[in-house]
């Protein structure tokens, strides 16, 4: 893959990133504002983005309030920005206002292997040892032997236990099948606090990876009491060759510079957008290469194997608390098998790919693929945020 330095970038506007029903939605953004000296919590009101940092210094604080949606819709704010202006800012340029990932102090967690179709692809990665050249052969065998046995199965059920015994007899049991249909889901820490990038930013893929793909997902935003307060979109970038060599390389595959994108905004749950609306979300993916290549895909939460609230309960409870809340990737149905570079090797990214993840009620998260080693370095952590808020007299 070649460098992306001279390639054109997608043009983003309010019309291309806002939800279809934005006028009814309580939308939360974060804005880097060099004049303020740091990040600002903001409300998206039409094509205006209004600074609420004097009311709530962090998104985490906002989601602790029972009146969060009212604050976002009605609270008086400070400065305001044009959404188009924020979206047009060059990525990684700290001297102009631009959008950030819309979460801040929340721990970034992810649930994996939550859809049967993508579960089979994880098994294939494991069986190939991360070698894409073997994928077609292994896929044919796995689908032939496993196939419909997983359709409609409830993880942890007696029926799931029976399927496990059948697969053991076929020599096909896998660590991915264990978390896919066993009693306990896979929940891991995807990225450090404040490391996620937002819409319009570069997203990173390790230069050494030769088999990788985007993972379009719904992300639940949960407060310190384990209450889901909103939802957004995420790209849980997947390095199939790295994780396929060993599941113990999960952190190396998942947590790299700019390898987690969240946005464009957090849509707060309210009477018009409740948890059942989240359960019914359809998420579309479009990857457009610099050479004109186009890949389309989709994921629907209606087909998830575990209810989203069960994933929250597996993350938060007596066994684990999150004082500043957490953002939880819920997994994806999407697992591309279309050949791109060579027959039998499936899909993998090229640098310069534009990845657009969208849902009618959440808007669009758009990023450009670059080597993680060339993405803007992550330099602003918790300490920088606290110092910035203290300088502004907001702590």
3-state secondary structure of 274: coil
The first and second tokens of residue 31, run together, are: 């804005």
Residue 181 CB contacts under 8 Å (≥ 6 apart), including other chains? 119, 150, 153, 155, 156, 160, 163, 164, 305
SS3 label, residue 277: helix
154, with CB counted inside 10 A (0-12, 13-18, 19+), is exposed
pTM score of the predicted model: 0.92
For 209-244, how does the pLDDT look when each residue is reduced to its tens digit (9 = 90+)?
998 999 999 999 999 999 999 999 999 999 989 988
Instruction: Flag whether pLDDT at 4 surpasses 60.
Output: no
Between 338 and 13, where is the model more confident?
Answer: 13
Determine contact, residues 267/361, Cβ cutoff 8 Å.
yes
Q: Which residue, among 210, 24, 58, has the nearest Cα to 131 in the 3D structure?
A: 210
The residue with greater pLDDT, 330 or 337, is 330
The full DSSP string for 283-324 is: EEEEEE-TTS-EEEEEEEGGG-SS-HHHHHHHHSBTTB--TT
Tracing tokens 């309580």 back to the chain, one arrives at 26
Point out which residues pair with 363 in neighbouring strands. Answer: 359
> What letter does residue 197 receive in the DSSP assignment?
B
47-89: pLDDT as tens digits: 999 999 999 999 999 999 999 999 999 999 889 999 999 999 9
Is the confidence at residue 2, as pLDDT, over 70?
no
> Residue 73 is inside which H or E element, if any?
helix 68-74
* Summary count for the chain: helices (H), strands (E): 13, 18
Q: What percent of the chain shows pLDDT beyond 90?
A: 69
Cα distances (angstroms) measured from residue 60 to each of 214, 253, 268, 323: 27, 28, 13, 9
């Amino acid at each position: 893959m070649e460098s992306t330095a001279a390639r054109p970038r997608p043009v983003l506007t309010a019309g291309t990133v806002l939800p279809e029903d934005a006028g009814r939605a309580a939308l939360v953004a974060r804005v880097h504002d060099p004049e303020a000296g740091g990040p600002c919590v903001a409300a998206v009101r039409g094509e205006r983005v209004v600074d609420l940092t004097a009311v709530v210094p962090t998104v985490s604080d906002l989601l602790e309030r029972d009146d969060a949606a009212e604050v976002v819709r009605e609270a008086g704010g400070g400065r305001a920005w044009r959404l188009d202006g924020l979206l047009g800012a060059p990525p990684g340029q700290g001297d102009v206002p631009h959008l950030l990932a819309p979460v801040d102090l929340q721990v970034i967690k992810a649930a994996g292997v939550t859809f049967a179709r993508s579960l089979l692809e994880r098994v294939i990665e494991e069986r190939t040892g991360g070698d894409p050249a073997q994928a077609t052969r292994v896929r044919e065998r796995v689908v032939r032997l496993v196939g419909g046995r997983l359709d409609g199965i409830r993880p942890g059920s007696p029926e799931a236990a029976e399927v496990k015994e059948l697969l053991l007899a076929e020599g096909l049991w896998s660590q991915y099948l264990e978390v896919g249909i066993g009693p306990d889901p896979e929940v891991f820490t995807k990225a450090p606090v404040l490391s996620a990038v937002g819409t319009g930013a570069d997203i990173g893929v390790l230069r050494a990876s030769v088999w990788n793909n985007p993972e379009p997902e719904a992300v639940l935003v949960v407060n310190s009491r384990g209450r889901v307060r909103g939802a957004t979109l995420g790209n849980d970038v997947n390095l199939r060759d790295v994780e396929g060599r060993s599941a113990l390389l999960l952190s190396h595959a998942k947590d790299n510079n700019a390898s987690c994108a969240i946005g464009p905004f957090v849509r707060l749950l309210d009477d018009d957008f409740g948890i059942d609306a989240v359960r019914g979300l359809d998420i579309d993916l479009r990857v457009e290469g610099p050479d004109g290549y186009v890949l389309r895909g989709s994921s629907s939460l209606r087909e998830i194997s575990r209810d989203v609230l069960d994933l929250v309960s597996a993350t938060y409870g007596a066994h684990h608390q999150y004082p500043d809340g957490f953002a939880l990737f819920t997994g994806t149905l999407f697992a591309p098998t279309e050949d791109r570079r060579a027959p039998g090797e499936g899909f993998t990214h090229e640098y310069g790919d534009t990845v657009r993840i969208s849902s009618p009620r959440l808007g669009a998260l758009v990023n450009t693929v670059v080597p993680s080693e060339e993405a803007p370095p992550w330099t602003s952590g918790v300490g920088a945020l606290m110092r910035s808020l203290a300088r502004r007299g907001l702590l």
